[in-house]
Chain A
Amino acid sequence: GAGVSQTPSNKVTEKGKYVELRCDPISGHTALYWYRQSLGQGPEFLIYFQGTGAADDSGLPNDRFFAVRPEGSVSTLKIQRTERGDSAVYLCASSLSGGLSYEQYFGPGTRLTVT
């Protein structure tokens, strides 16, 4: 079946602009995660959804970052007033449910470049 998809694959924006990054999880997966991977680093956790609710947003770096999952499927990561330091690959992952028994399946990521 289809894996996790993310759109766009690449996004170039100017400093100060607003961007939205989309994640389509595997059908039926209730848990969804966002990570950010800066150049030369491993992914860093941003936020976790169980169903429609953000169960853990402790990784969001500041209030410019926000994510939603209104129907418990597709999720959108929103970044306001982008800064050059926001440039990174944003990864989405989904799993059948939360907890360690369930494998996270990762999408290919969205590469965000802020100029």
Chain B
Amino acid sequence: AQSVTQLGSHVSVSEGALVLLRCNYSSSVPPYLFWYVQYPNQGLQLLLKYTTGATLVKGINGFEAEFKKSETSFHLTKPSAHMSDAAEYFCAVSDDMGGAQKLVFGQGTRLTINP
């Protein structure tokens, strides 16, 4: 079975500082990996995804993530935090089986940006 672990349920950084949100996964097949962001009272929005090919993936709003198979990790980074980045972030894994994109999510990391 697939699973996702997000290290740190809360992360706080200063505006302009590096954002690093950690995600480790477990999968018995080549994984497809996703990061979603959830703003209050809104639906989840896809930030970026890794399927195959280049292991460094760039997403929206200046975020990027690197797939490291040897470390089973898919950490999310942004060089300089903005106040608007404050939200809940979810890492998810899926596999290409059965036609359904069944996402398995981590428990989420709440990002706070300090002025």
Contact = CB atoms under 8 A, between A and B. Distances in A.
Given A55-B99, A55-B100, A104-B46, 13 more contacts: A3-B43, A35-B103, A40-B107, A40-B108, A42-B105, A43-B105, A44-B105, A45-B103, A48-B100, A100-B94, A103-B46, A108-B42, A108-B43
B103 A48 contact: no
Given A106-B45, A108-B42, A42 B99 contact: no
B43 A4 contact: yes
Interface in A46-64: 48, 50, 55-56, 59
B41 interface: yes
Interface string A82-104: 00000000010101001111111
Contacts of B14: none
Interface of B: 4, 9, 32, 36, 41-46, 49, 51, 90, 92, 94, 96, 98-108
**Majority secondary structure of chain B interface residues (helix, strand, loop or mixed):** loop
**Majority secondary structure of chain A interface residues (helix, strand, loop or mixed):** loop
B16 to A, nearest CB: 29
B102 A45 contact: yes
A42 B92 contact: yes
A56 B98 contact: yes
B87 to A, nearest CB: 14
B44 A91 contact: yes
B102 A99 contact: no
Nearest to B43: A106
A99 B41 contact: no
A104 B49 CA distance: 11
B6 to A, nearest CB: 8
Contacts of B107: 40-42
Contacts of B32: 100
Contacts of B103: 33, 35, 43, 45, 104
B43 A105 contact: yes
Contact of B96 (A35, A95, A100): A100
